[in-house]
Structure 1
Amino acid sequence: MVQFSQTSWQEFSLPNVLETLQYAPLNLTIGKNPLLHYTLPKELEAGATIKYQLQYGFKVIRWTGIISSIKDNSITVRLGQGPFRGFTASHKFVSEGHMTACYDELSFQGFTAVPEETFAEIASKANLVYAIFARKAARDVYVAVETRKKTQSFGALDIGATAG
Structure 2
Amino acid sequence: MVQMSQTSWQDFSLADVKEILTFAPLNLAIGANPVLHYTLPKELVAGEKIKYTIVAGFKIISWTGIIGAVTGNKLMVRLEKGPFRGFTATHWFEAEGGFTACCDEFTFQGFTDISESEFKDLIDKTHVIYALRSRKAAQEIELAVEAKKQTQSFESLDSSATAG
Question: TM > 0.5 between the two?
Answer: yes
Q: Does 1:101 align with 2:101?
A: yes
Give the corresponding residue for 2:34. 34
Paired residues for 1:15-54 under 5 Å: 15-54=15-54
Instruction: Tell me the CA shift for residue 155 of structure 1.
Output: 1.2
Equivalent-residue separation in structure 2 for 1:103 and 1:46 (angstroms) = 19
Deviations for 1:71-113, whole angstroms, at most 9, x for unmatched residues?
Answer: 1201100001111110000001111111111110000001112
Please, what is the CA RMSD of the aligned residues? 0.7
Letter in 1 for 2:139: R
- Deviations 1:101-156, CA, capped at 9 Å, x for gaps: 11100000011122212111111100100001000000001001111111111111
Q: After superposition, what is the alpha-carbon deviation per residue over 1:20-47, rounded to whole angstroms, capped at 9, x for unaligned?
A: 1110100000000001000110000000
The CA distance in 2 between the partners of 1:125 and 1:11, in whole Å, is 24
> What amino acid maps onto 1:41 in structure 2?
P
Opposite residue 141 of structure 1, the aligned amino acid is I
Gaps of 5+ in 2: none
Runs of at least 5 residues in structure 1 that lack an aligned partner in the other structure: none
Q: Which runs of 4+ in 1 moved over 3 A?
A: none
Q: 2: CA distance between counterparts of 1:62 and 1:72?
A: 27
Name the CA distance, whole Å, in 2 between partners of 1:113 and 1:47.
27
Q: C-alpha separation between the residues in 1 aligned to 2:115 and 2:59?
A: 15
Q: What is the match of residue 86 of structure 1?
A: 86
Secondary structure at 1:80's aligned position in 2? strand
1:161 CA displacement: 1.0
Q: What is the alpha-carbon distance in structure 2 between the residues aligned to residue 113 and residue 37 of structure 1?
A: 20
**Counterparts of 2:8 and 2:158, CA distance in 1:** 50
State TM-score, norm by structure 1: 0.98
Give the SS at the match of 2:130: coil
Q: Give the equivalent residue in structure 2 for 1:65.
A: 65
1:163 is matched with 163
Residue number in structure 1 paired with 2:124: 124
Aligned AA (2:118) = T
Note the 1:138-157 alignment, pairs <5 A.
138-157=138-157
In structure 2, C-alpha distance between the alignment counterparts of 1:27 and 1:54, rounded to whole Å = 14
The number of aligned residues is 164
- Deviation of residue 19 (structure 1)? 0.7
